[in-house]
Amino acid sequence: MSNEFGRRLRSLREAKRENDASFSLRRFAQQLDVSATYLSKVETGDSPPPTPTKIMRMAQLLVTDADELLALAGKVDPLLPHIIREQPRAVADLLRSVQEAGLDDKQIEKLTKQIKKMK
């Protein structure tokens, strides 16, 4: 799992560098408050992915979806366990229902938009 995370991270970082020549591994590492050596090892799969908070910061800097990176790292947004604990039955039932229905990404996005309109 960490190899897949590392490959995706490197791909995103290199894509960003194509648009911003100053966005080097070293600069990215500095913005994350980690060493360039550590970051390089994460990208090659020689070190495990960092904490969820760092991954979310990576996503922000790379202008990409944090949940995708978290999933590749085998982690979740730190807020999700709290949300589940607030309404464990309802949230678990919702997630199981989505899975059982076999909804694809577009269908889930549509459902999410409908839920957001209910606010």
Confidence of residue 2 (pLDDT cuts 50, 70, 90): low
Do residues 23 and 16 lie in contact, with contact meaning Cβ atoms separated by under 8 Å? Answer: yes
Give the Cα-Cα-Cα angle 95, 65, 71 (nearest 5 degrees).
Answer: 50
Confidence of residue 119 (pLDDT cuts 50, 70, 90): confident
Q: Average pLDDT for residues 51-60, to the nearest whole number?
A: 97
Alpha carbons 2 and 18: distance in angstroms, whole number = 24
Contacts of 8 (CB under 8 A, 6+ apart): 68, 69, 72
Please tell me the predicted confidence (pLDDT) of residue 37.
97
What domains, with CATH codes, occur in the chain? 2-72 (1.10.260.40), 87-117 (no CATH)
* Secondary structure letter of residue 22 according to DSSP: T
pLDDT, tens digit (0-9, with 9 covering 90-100), for 74-111: 999 999 999 999 999 999 999 999 999 999 999 999 99
Tokens 């366990």 belong to residue: 81
User: Chain centroid to CA 54: how far?
Assistant: 10
Q: Average pLDDT for residues 21-45, to the nearest whole number?
A: 96
- pLDDT above 90: percentage of residues in the chain: 96
Please tell me the predicted confidence (pLDDT) of residue 60.
97
Alpha carbons 72 and 49: distance in angstroms, whole number = 9
